[in-house]
Structure 1
Amino acid sequence: MSIVVKQKGGFAYCMDTPMLNRPNTLRGKLLSAQQHVFRYGAIFVGIIVVFLVIYDSLANNWAINDFLGNGYQFITPVADASNVNDLMDQYSFAHGYGISDLAKITKKMTNYTIVNLVMDTNPYIYVLEAGTYSITSEMNLCPIFQKSYPVDITKTRQQLGVVVDAISFLRGEAFSHAFTEDATTNLANSSMGSAQLESLGYKPTRIVADLRLTQSFVLKNTTATQQLVVGYYRIYSKSYCTGCIPIAEFGHGSCNFTMQYNDTEKMLKISLSNYINGSRHDFGLMFQQTAFSAASHYLKFIAILFALGGFLASRRTVQWQDVDLRSTETFVQRVIKTMMPQYYPHMSYAIRFDMFCYNSDIFVLLFTAGVILDIGAAIKFTREVQVFLAACPNGLMSLQLFALSTRLLWVNCALLKIIKYFWSTLSTAGYSGESHIMGFFNFTSVTSLYMSGILLFYIPAFIEYNNSVRQDLKSNVEPLDGTAVNFYESFYVRGSGAIIGGLVLNLLLVVALDQLINRAYWSLMAKNSLARQAMYNSTSILMDFINEIDTEVFKNRNGIIYCKARRLCTLQWFFMSHLTTFGLPEKDLRTKKIHNQATNHTRQNTNQSNAATGISTQQRDSASDIVDKDGNFMVAQDGGHHVHLLDSDIRDVTNLIINIKILKNTSVAIN
């Protein structure tokens, strides 16, 4: 298509305009349609993810959960006890399964749990409510009561207690289960002691003490079989190394007791204790409050402040930043520029909020640091709840765990950014785009990132598979005090390598799939200098902010992006303030400069010829208003990591020239 400029006397001058004359190939149309689908799909999924992030911030905030206080219902059976020994006078414990029968370490664990639970306004623990479940046959917690209890029938109401302690031994992990036979051959059994277990490759990984206390009930003085539904509380202390501070699982449910009382021996025997199908089971957890969990909240809060400040700044047209060799920018000035840069009142709409959060180094690294500091509590909460969810579905808790898994999206983002940064220091690339490996660590859009997040929901199942070859050594088989649990061999730490490996494999799989499916897209983007800054020359990992500049580029297929000057200014600020740039130059800049100078010399001769025919400069300028008179531009970095806009003569376009384009809101053709 051409613009026709008429001159007095009837002479007409035709000028081709590349922005209007775009060849629409079938392949280009298909790629453009694909990008539209991805774009609107990403927006839709992005809304869901934003909801999940907000829900996670509220429902999975341990401080808020603890403050609400619903978890403190589990204080009921020990409310008037000051320590574990007080329970011996309040409850009738089963023979051989009382407080005095516990190993010293498990008694200490149980005592720690009770003492901290009953302490008023305890600043050292979180007591969390973790859902209510409808019991099924797969979650039968009642058989532990099938024992004999000394009972004084003269008491109006009876309260029973039973406690069992054990050490969990595990063998292998997820990768060894997958590639060896350690999950199927030479398995242990319940009669084996610690020496036999260790000879088979099992390692002690966790110490547990399972305390059950019934609610009071009335017992009839008869030898006849009695059946009664009795409520109970569970205090299940777990320590992941000998002497470590334990966590605790709480429960409140009910069992159907079948029992016989012998008044001569003052003994009550529960011959059968069974679950009640569909009965309610309340579930809770107790975690230690640590400096890490407190720091996690602060880091996330600071990250959100940077994200909000930076995103609001990106809504305006940030002033183009020229290189100033006469001054050195201080750290405080950089922080201020990150959140409050100098800007014009014009709107730019350069970056979506979700993409801003996923792609900003500051937000990603701060938020990821907060996630990692709290990762221990998050994994334990996820695993403990998932055990119940696997047997007793609960839609709200499933949603809560899925929201919790979205935290790992930022771990994925941070991992890609760190890989790009370290590869930039190791690579010998001399120009932007030379290292094809660098281009591999990018997502086409947030849709690909969300795909990696879906697989993260299966992390709890992966943990269970990792610890599936298990045998519990109970104190009635062997005294537990002689076996120590090493922290590095503990229940979660031992499998951390497999978990991290699974996360990395998940991420690389999705990245590889993205690169394979969108091969035509990546080839097209590699032709454009602005896209190359994102792909090869910075820690940017998402291409949404490039994709949305000019959706017609996919039809054009020549790699030229037409970007509004206002958007381009804001993108320059984003590159230099929220991303880490690597400072690689564009390829063969000197050769291009010599070539373009020769081309400009030819153009000047043509202009002189046009002047002889009577075509004025003003008319040529009006005809080329939609593109720059000097042709296409190039985005490049210098050795100081500053982002420049270069004209066709490879000269720096200054702030003054950019300001004119900002006022007119004209487009810049970037090749």
Structure 2
Amino acid sequence: MPRPKTRTLQMPQTPQNAAGAVQLAKALKTLLGYLCTILLVVDVCGNNWELIDYVGDAKHLLTPLLTVAEFDQIGHAFVFPVGNAPDHVSQVGQFMMNTSLAQIQARDSDTYILGTTMHPIQDSVNDICGHLVSSYPLPSANATSVRLGNVADGISFVRGTALSHWFSDTRSAPPADQGMNETQLRAMGYGPVRHGTDLRLTTHVAVPRPGEIVTTSISMYRFFMKAFCSGCVPGTELGLDTCAITYLYNETTHSLDVTASQAAVGSSHELGFIFQRRGGPILALYIRFAIVLLVFGVYSASQKTVQWVEFVPESLPQRLHNVVAPPLYRQPCSVFGLSDICFNSDIFVVLYTLAVLADEEISLVYSRVLYRWYRSTSFNLWIELRLMSMTMRWLWLNCFLLKAAKWTCDFASVAQYTGENRVMGWLTFSSVTWVYLSVFVLFQRANFIEYSNSVLIDLSCATQNLDAVSVAFLDSWYVRSMPDLVVVVLVNLIVLLAIDRVVNWQWWRATAKNSLCRQLMFNSTSILADVRGDAIDQPGYAGSCLVIKARALCTFRWFFSTHLTAFGLKEHPAILRAIHSARPHKTDPGSSSADVTADTAPMPSERTTHTSVAWLSDHDVVKPVPPTDAATLYLIVQDRDGHIHVVDGTKREMQELNVEVKILRDTTIVLG
């Protein structure tokens, strides 16, 4: 028999160009892999709420209220302007102040106190000191110093979302004017999205002689309570600024008049948070800990050769044990990388997606406020990495959406054979590099949410009584932005999948003719079709033949059986007939008869002779294939229970003993 001609699947190019494309793809994949790894480490350490709360850097931001035990005492400890005092806020505003004060006094395990980040004040954008400009009635004519306070209570109204801004006139239409009431705002298309009570408290200010104008610097503490539904437990944004104020004592009105107030240029705004410690973030913490152990065990197992064992009924503990610690040979194997496990394992993707969603109630608010203060300052690498790492979490949401789409397609499809449902194949990437590329749209999440809520106006308690104005959770600041954001995420995935198909169309065409790749594309929840192997031309066979090491096939079979959901579709009989017609006269003695039916729609007879690898994909080439190893073609099939079998053209299944011999000899198997 003539020696088979080896090739690798992809687009036509010269050997030099092919080698260059492979090196470029590997370099890009490595670079993106390092970036995602760094962001993961930053997220686990820098965005760990338990760790940040334990360090306690934000607790000094509570100083003005540490000795205030009750809400009514605030008015006695600080002087407030008429109309901007605590007793003038709405019922919901008073509830939020009471709740925040109780959290500050308790400082227990039911509360996260998170901080801090420093944001340089370079212009008026981050200058919030202007709220101090007002007239403060003095409590006593003999007062020598006072502490100033100012509270603003209101409900934020927003019109439109990102998609309506793009495809309608919600952004270009005339905006509302300050002073409009709720009825007028709703008539213009606005809706309530957030209730906010902004409390500012200062350190002591000396009372000057009558008529004397004084300029000095004071510290101003900020307690900005925000609730995204009426009556909900608020989160509190903490802040500390240095304000330069100009003031005088008005003897006629017996008040301290602050005529000017601005942040000291060159100073910094210190940012912190108070959040209720709910079950979601705690659940996310435990899931992440379990994921670390899972990844360590699975990756360690994937770097060795997993034993080829026959499928037998197993108990749940046995199945869970095989997920992490299957029976192993000592021989090394490198068929999977860490990224293949993290982004393609059903278990890992589902668990990490659950952890991400459980933690979103804090991370969404935290990242948005952090971004709002950071965007107007100079570049800060640590803050940049923290923001990117919080948005990169949605990378696993991308993977989950693809896997859910494949499962839904299989559930709704009436296809009987692998490859009949063409949509299924379009829900798979050729390489993990494409998964990495989807993160760049996710980095714009904070920008997108800000844009969705950019047509904004605040309805103050000074304009109308706010007690009858309610905020619905489903219409709140973040939730209202989610449908549009999900649309953008889906469009991002669709565009990347389409580009992958167009750029690598010849590689995909050849890949769909191989049974191993078809199991990944059409017969499982795998979102990656990347298989490390070498393709060859087999005389008399019109499909694509893939040469893979026996050790790699064993480990692949374990991963497929335990970390992916198999759909149990059969191979089309035409595929088995093609394998049978291309089989050699001598049968592999290590195979035995097995009643396994074959699958996929009949493949076209034309063949490709192009050489190289898929763009943005990297494939490790195996050793040259001796003629004797290429003599027998095998087919990867599933039974109706989703179990993987390897059969030849006569339906003889490869047995465990034969595989062990191939493992010890480090030989290869040719898959048609």
Q: 1:551 to 1:114 in 2, by over 3 A?
A: farther
Give the Cα separation in 2 of the matches to 1:320 and 1:309.
Answer: 19
Q: 1:362 to 1:24 in 2, by over 3 A?
A: closer
Tell me which residue corresponds to 1:578: 563
Q: 1:600 to 1:457 in 2, by over 3 A?
A: same
The one-letter code matched in structure 1 to 2:39 is L
Question: 1:394-433 CA distances to partner (integer Å, 9 max, x unpaired)?
Answer: 5121211011111111111111111111111112222222
Tell me which residue corresponds to 2:377: 392
Tell me which residue corresponds to 1:549: 533
Structure 2, unmatched stretches of 5+, are 589-623
Q: 1:259 to 1:28 in 2, by over 3 A?
A: same
Q: 1:601 to 1:403 in 2, by over 3 A?
A: closer
- CA displacement at 1:76 relative to structure 2: 0.7
Give the Cα separation in 1 of the matches to 2:74 and 2:133.
Answer: 20
Say which of 498, 511, 519 aligns to 2:497.
511
Say which of 452, 455, 463 aligns to 1:469.
455
1:147 aligns with 2:134: yes
Give the Cα separation in 1 of the matches to 2:587 and 2:641.
Answer: 34
The one-letter code matched in structure 1 to 2:43 is D
Tell me which residue corresponds to 2:596: none
CA contact (8 A) 1:233 1:253 kept: yes
CA contact (8 A) 1:38 1:445 kept: no
1:204 aligns with 2:188: no
Give the Cα separation in 2 of the matches to 1:629 and 1:214.
Answer: 82
SS at structure 1 position matched to 2:447: helix
Tell me which residue corresponds to 1:374: 359
- CA displacement at 1:217 relative to structure 2: 3.0
Q: 1:78 to 1:372 in 2, by over 3 A?
A: same
Give the Cα separation in 2 of the matches to 1:220 and 1:184.
Answer: 50
Tell me which residue corresponds to 1:214: 202
Give the Cα separation in 2 of the matches to 1:42 and 1:56.
Answer: 21
Give the Cα separation in 1 of the matches to 2:9 and 2:527.
Answer: 30
1:478 aligns with 2:474: no
Q: Where do residues 17-416 of structure 1 align in structure 2 (5 Å cutoff)?
A: 17-18=3-4, 26-27=12-13, 29=15, 30=17, 33-120=20-107, 122-135=108-121, 136-151=123-138, 152=140, 154-324=142-312, 328-395=313-380, 396-416=382-402
CA contact (8 A) 1:626 1:666 kept: no
Q: 1:596 to 1:377 in 2, by over 3 A?
A: same
Q: Where do residues 483-502 of structure 1 align in structure 2 (5 Å cutoff)?
A: 483-502=469-488
CA contact (8 A) 2:134 2:259 kept: yes
Question: 1:279-327 CA distances to partner (integer Å, 9 max, x unpaired)?
Answer: 1110011111111221111222222222221111111111113344xxx
Q: 1:20 to 1:534 in 2, by over 3 A?
A: closer
Give the Cα separation in 2 of the matches to 1:439 and 1:474.
Answer: 55
Question: 1:612-660 CA distances to partner (integer Å, 9 max, x unpaired)?
Answer: xxxxxxxxxxx98564264222222122211111224332111111111
Question: If the length of structure 2 is used for normalisation, what is the TM-score?
Answer: 0.89
RMSD, matched Cα: 2.4
The count of residues paired between Structure 1 and Structure 2 equals 629
- CA displacement at 1:24 relative to structure 2: 11
CA contact (8 A) 2:391 2:443 kept: yes
Q: 1:429 to 1:259 in 2, by over 3 A?
A: same
Q: 1:169 to 1:22 in 2, by over 3 A?
A: closer
Q: 1:112 to 1:627 in 2, by over 3 A?
A: farther
Say which of 407, 411, 415 aligns to 1:425.
411
Give the Cα separation in 2 of the matches to 1:418 and 1:350.
Answer: 25
Give the Cα separation in 2 of the matches to 1:23 and 1:254.
Answer: 64
Tell me which residue corresponds to 2:658: 657
- CA displacement at 1:62 relative to structure 2: 0.9
CA contact (8 A) 1:31 1:521 kept: no
Larger Rg: 1
- CA displacement at 1:138 relative to structure 2: 1.4
Q: 1:275 to 1:199 in 2, by over 3 A?
A: same
Give the Cα separation in 1 of the matches to 2:370 and 2:484.
Answer: 21
**Relative contact order (C-alpha < 8 Å, sep 6+): which is higher?**
2
CA contact (8 A) 2:579 2:634 kept: no
1:635 aligns with 2:620: no
The one-letter code matched in structure 2 to 1:409 is L
The one-letter code matched in structure 1 to 2:230 is T
Q: 1:22 to 1:61 in 2, by over 3 A?
A: closer
Give the Cα separation in 2 of the matches to 1:658 and 1:118.
Answer: 67
CA contact (8 A) 1:208 1:239 kept: yes
The one-letter code matched in structure 2 to 1:519 is W
Tell me which residue corresponds to 1:620: none
Structure 1, unmatched stretches of 5+, are 1-14, 604-622
CA contact (8 A) 2:6 2:534 kept: no
Give the Cα separation in 2 of the matches to 1:60 and 1:414.
Answer: 22
Give the Cα separation in 1 of the matches to 2:301 and 2:161.
Answer: 48
Give the Cα separation in 2 of the matches to 1:552 and 1:445.
Answer: 21
Tell me which residue corresponds to 1:595: 581
Tell me which residue corresponds to 1:564: 549
SS at structure 2 position matched to 1:162: strand
Give the Cα separation in 2 of the matches to 1:130 and 1:624.
Answer: 60
Give the Cα separation in 2 of the matches to 1:23 and 1:38.
Answer: 15
CA contact (8 A) 1:167 1:207 kept: yes
Give the Cα separation in 2 of the matches to 1:138 and 1:517.
Answer: 45
- CA displacement at 1:81 relative to structure 2: 0.9
Q: 1:212 to 1:65 in 2, by over 3 A?
A: same
Give the Cα separation in 2 of the matches to 1:657 and 1:16.
Answer: 25
Q: 1:26 to 1:194 in 2, by over 3 A?
A: closer
CA contact (8 A) 1:361 1:539 kept: yes
